[in-house]
Each structure stands twice: as structure tokens, then as C-alpha cells.
Structure 1
Amino acid sequence: MAFDMDLRQLRYFLGIAETGSISAASQRLRVAQPALSQQLARLEAELGAPLMLRSSRGVTLTAAGEALKTHAERLLREAERAREAVRAEIAGPIRGRVAIGLPTTVAMLLTLPLLRALRAEHPALALHLAESQSGHLQEWLRQGRIDLAILFDQEGAPPGLGLRPLVEEELYLAGTGGEGAEITLAEALRLPVLLPGREHGFRRLLEAHAARAGGAWQVVAEVDALPHLKAGVAAGLAHTVLPWAALGAEIAAGTLRARRIVAPVLRRTAVLACAGERPASRGQQAAEACLLALVRRLVDEGAWRGRLLLA
């Protein structure tokens, strides 16, 4: 037998039980007497037992009615608690968990400021930061393992991702020496470089730039780990190509020097991505707002060199 009892029926039943008559319950609940009688009869039919005995003096509960009254009171209390919990969640501190994916070159710039900002603004929100290549982050988004990610150059991104352009940044040739603030791409292509492996999206971007210029990078070694790659360059083994955001600390310390690549200028675009088909939680919305404000501030301060694309 289908069991379709709902909370409205239980409220009507308790109203009749507590007032002792359908007419009195009608006045308290502001529901017409025929509608109350109909709902009570439907409830009895669904449960397969009489719940009340009617008489000229009102109604009295049967044994089945007494049993239902106890459970109905508990169920309605739980329903009210659930309603109050939802209202408190909406009005109260943002809780839950949000996972954000960051490429290595961006993680060095954003991780600590983002942790500080979210801890200050939403201390009850649990944050998980995942650092990896853009390709891996894109797949994790589709799998639901992360909620947000910063990716690069997503013109051919698969459907289902929501993309918001953030920053267009230029690329620099980093080394321990060299003259001038700029170097042409043709000159850079003649120098020995350390680059990440070919499976990295950044490496594929650099190869595409070189191919359009009719040349190729002189790669002496492939190093995937960014700290080790920069350490090799600082040791004078070769040059490398990176955005300013990944070089700021070493430039400030004087261990590396960066020259802007020109003729043509090499650029890449950072975007904020989410899985567009999944509704965003309050935590995800809060983290996204915090991240966007942080990106805007870092670009305005010059810590993230590039052209801000946020409206």
C-alpha cells in the first residue's frame, strides 16, 4: 500500500486532537471544516485504522490515534528544527568545505594571501588548495574533486566548464645575466633553456609560440618541479621562460633577472573555472568572491603583472 502521509495532514490531525473537535480546529488552523474532515478521512484510509471516534461532544482518540499523536508531535518538532537549522545556515556563518585548484606558477603567488583572506572573512569555511597542472585541474573539476580552479588559455575548453577571464600576463626570459629589460623571441630561441615536460600545457604554449616564429627552443633539460627549475637557472645552468608572478621572489632577492620577451610579446590568459552544471554552494560563492577580490588587488598592486580582465 502506498504511504502518502505528509506534514500538513499531521498538523491537521494534531489540531483536531488538541482542540477536541473539528470545528474548534477549523478556527485555530483557519481551514474549512469539510477540508479538515476530508484530510482526516484520507489519513485514516492511508493508515488503515480509525484515529478518532466522533460524537456530539467532539472527538476522542483511538489507540491508533494516540500512537500517531506521539509520533506526529515528534515529527513536527523535527521538521521545525530542520527549518530553523536551514534558516540559521542561511543567515549564519558560511560553513562547509570548498576545494580550489591552482597551477604551480599561480600557487606561489596566491596560496598564502588566499588562506589569510578566507580565514579572516570566513573562519568556519574549510578550505582545500590543490596544486597541479592545468590539465589535471580541468579533469578534477569535471570529476567534482574540486569546486574552482585557475586555468590558462582555455579557448578550446570542453563544454560544461564555466569560465571567467582573470588576467592576461606576459612571459619573461629568466636567467642570471643579460643586458636590457627586453629580449626578442628570436634571440631567446638561441639560448639554452630549462622547460617543463611536453605534457605540460605551458610547455605546449611555448612550443606554439616558437613554431609561429619559425624556430624552436634550445631545451637542455626538462624539469617539472618549479622550485628545482628555478634553482637550476639560478645556478647558471640555463635560462627559462616564466610569468613575472612565478619570479617575483627571486627577482627581489637578486638571484634571478627577468627580461620581457618581445617581437612578438608572449602572453597567456588566466581564467577562473568551475563546473557549470553543478550549483554553487554558499562556500564556493564566498571563496570565489574572495579569490576575485584578491586577484584584483594583486594586479592593482603590481604583484601579479598583467592586464586585469575582470569587469
Structure 2
Amino acid sequence: MNLRRLKYFVKIVDIGSLTQAAEILHIAQPALSQQLATLEGECRQQLLVRTKRGVTPTEAGSTLYRHAQIILRQVEQAQNDVKKSGQTLSGQVSVGLSPGTAASALSLPLLQTVRARHPGILLYINENFGTTLSELIMNGRMDMAVLYGDKSFHGLSYKPLLKEDLYLVAPACLHFSEKEIALQELRDVELLLPRPYNFVRKYVNEAFMGAQMVPRVVAEIESAATLSAAIAAGLGATILPVSAARVIASTGNATLSRIINPVILAPLSLCESDHLPLSEPARAVKDILMELVDDLARDSGLPERVEA
């Protein structure tokens, strides 16, 4: 298979239509169909299914699509690195920052520092849920992300950066202590938490399980604005890492209490591909990101950066 056919295939899957893909690629549709047929012959698999609404990838097509994105990105990276060897760093670098985490405070300093040191680098910052960001990295569509989690698995590598204490954010009407609260005291508290796949929710569930308790979850919310409004309305409390807890508590009449007995820690990590090397510009951005994490830990009173 050649790169041109892979580019054609990725574009067809992205758009979901052979006709529209042909128009964008400036190629006749019969010729594009022939390129697809050749690719399917090389793979000895049907890659696309034609429907009334367009085309969708088969299981084999989805597998090839993921690999094709990685291959094309590596080729582009290699071309750029060779072309710009010995020159001022330039090119595109994508960084994901999980919202509602300490990482949110890094976006503006990262943008400012990269522009000051490497004006030729086009920085793309994506604030999104950790599951979305890790999937983009795994598919080769993002260079790195700062998000919660600390366990590497196939396709992804997690480098621990910081550990944040989890805090209870509760409506002031519940009259909780504004300093510390034991986990046992949360047995009957109505909680507003993210979905179970969320890393913070996993840490909460594990802590409750260790205390032979079950969190009393009355709603699952992953919108900071909705969560703030719900707490202000007295609909329940939530449990968040300290950086996010401070933001939520500052927007309404709420108390902030560090959870103890046991203390629950949420590790913030740098997530990268475990097999795709970073480009020279991406390595430069990563170095800046590490500097900013150290500054954040020092200025926010968080634990110093964890060395892997």
C-alpha cells in the first residue's frame, strides 16, 4: 500500500462520503473508488460499507484507519524534522489539558512561553475530558496531554507530575467544617459525581470501598457550570481535587473541606504515546510544560513534581 491511498482512505472515513471526498481531493469519483478497491485488495479485507447515508468503516477499516493516521503523521513529522534540521524550531504541536484540574492553570502560561521562546511553533491547546484526550493520543492525533491517572497501558504512557488531595465541596447550608472532614462522615451525604469511567470517580469509589461504604450518588455531572449551580442550589455536594474544588467553591455559597481518614490523592500525569516519538518542536513544548508544572506546584502549595 502507498501513502496516497492511505490519505485517500482517511479522507473518505473522515467525511463519510465517497462523492464529497472526491470533490475535496480533486479526483474523479470512479478513480477514487478504484484506489479504494486496490487498497481493499492489498489488505484482502472489505474496508468500507456503503449505505444510503454514505460509507462507514468495517472493523478492518477502523483498524486500518487508526494505523493510517499514525503512519501519515509520522511521515509528516519526519519530513518536517529533516527539512527544518538546524533551523529555528517550527511546526504544529498539540497539547491536551483536562478541564477542572490543576492543568487548566497551565494553558495561558504555556501559550505565552512557547510564543516567546519558539515563535515558529503553532501550538494547539485542547481542553477536553481525559478519556477523549487519551484516545486522541492513542490514535496519533495529539502529542501529549495533562490529565488524571497514573497507570500506563498499551498505547499510552503516563508520567506522574503532581498529586492533589480530594476535597468535599458542599452547600453552606449543610454546615460542614471548612478545614477537614473524615470520610466516614460522608456516608449519608448526597453526592454529585462524574460518571464511573472518570478517574476522580474511580479514586472516590475505591476510597469508599476501602471504608466499606458506598457513595450516595444522586446525580452524575461533568459540567463545571452545572455542578456549581447545583451546589449553590443545595442539591448535593461533590468531591474534587483541590484545584477544581477551589474553583467550584469560589462560584457559590459553599464550604471546602479536605477529606481525611483516609486522605484521597488524585495523581495528575503527562500522557504520551508509548511508541510514537515526539517531534523536535513537541519535545521543546514538553520541556516548557515540565517547567510550568514545577512553577504551579510551588505557587499553589501542591506537592512537588513527582519524578518517574
TM-score between both structures, scaled by the size of structure 2: 0.66
Aligned pair count reads 225
Structure 1: stretches of 5+ with no match in the other structure:
1-84
Change (3 A) 1:160 1:88: closer
SS of residue matched to 2:169: strand
State the identity %.
30
SS of residue matched to 1:299: helix
By how many angstroms is 1:88 displaced?
A: 8.3
Question: What does 1:1-311 align with in structure 2 at a 5 Å threshold?
Answer: 89-106=84-101, 107-155=103-151, 157-177=152-172, 178-251=176-249, 255-302=253-300, 305-310=302-307
Alpha-carbon separation, structure 2, partners of 1:119 and 1:236: 44
SS of residue matched to 1:97: strand
Alpha-carbon separation, structure 2, partners of 1:134 and 1:258: 24
Would you say the 8 A contact 1:98–1:128 is kept in 2?
yes
By how many angstroms is 1:223 displaced?
A: 1.0
SS of residue matched to 1:272: strand
Worse-superposed segment, 184-193 or 262-271: 184-193
By how many angstroms is 1:151 displaced?
A: 3.2
Post-superposition CA distance 1:39-58 (Å, at most 9, x none): xxxxxxxxxxxxxxxxxxxx
Alpha-carbon separation, structure 2, partners of 1:181 and 1:215: 22
TM-score between both structures, scaled by the size of structure 1: 0.66
Alpha-carbon separation, structure 1, partners of 2:89 and 2:290: 18
One-letter amino acid matched to 1:209: A
One-letter amino acid matched to 2:306: L
Alpha-carbon separation, structure 2, partners of 1:242 and 1:184: 15
Change (3 A) 1:254 1:196: closer
Would you say the 8 A contact 1:152–1:269 is kept in 2?
yes
Alpha-carbon separation, structure 2, partners of 1:99 and 1:295: 17
Post-superposition CA distance 1:18-47 (Å, at most 9, x none): xxxxxxxxxxxxxxxxxxxxxxxxxxxxxx
One-letter amino acid matched to 2:245: L
Alpha-carbon separation, structure 2, partners of 1:307 and 1:182: 22
Alpha-carbon separation, structure 2, partners of 1:158 and 1:116: 32
Change (3 A) 1:122 1:191: same
Alpha-carbon separation, structure 2, partners of 1:281 and 1:246: 32
Alpha-carbon separation, structure 2, partners of 1:180 and 1:86: 53
Change (3 A) 1:108 1:256: farther
One-letter amino acid matched to 2:305: L
One-letter amino acid matched to 2:188: R
Structure 2: stretches of 5+ with no match in the other structure:
1-79
Alpha-carbon separation, structure 2, partners of 1:272 and 1:135: 13
Post-superposition CA distance 1:197-229 (Å, at most 9, x none): 223232222112211111111212111112321
Would you say the 8 A contact 2:150–2:159 is kept in 1?
no
SS of residue matched to 1:135: helix
Would you say the 8 A contact 1:151–1:272 is kept in 2?
yes
Would you say the 8 A contact 1:190–1:218 is kept in 2?
yes
Alpha-carbon separation, structure 1, partners of 2:139 and 2:252: 42
SS of residue matched to 1:144: coil
Aligned-residue Cα RMSD (Å) equals 2.4
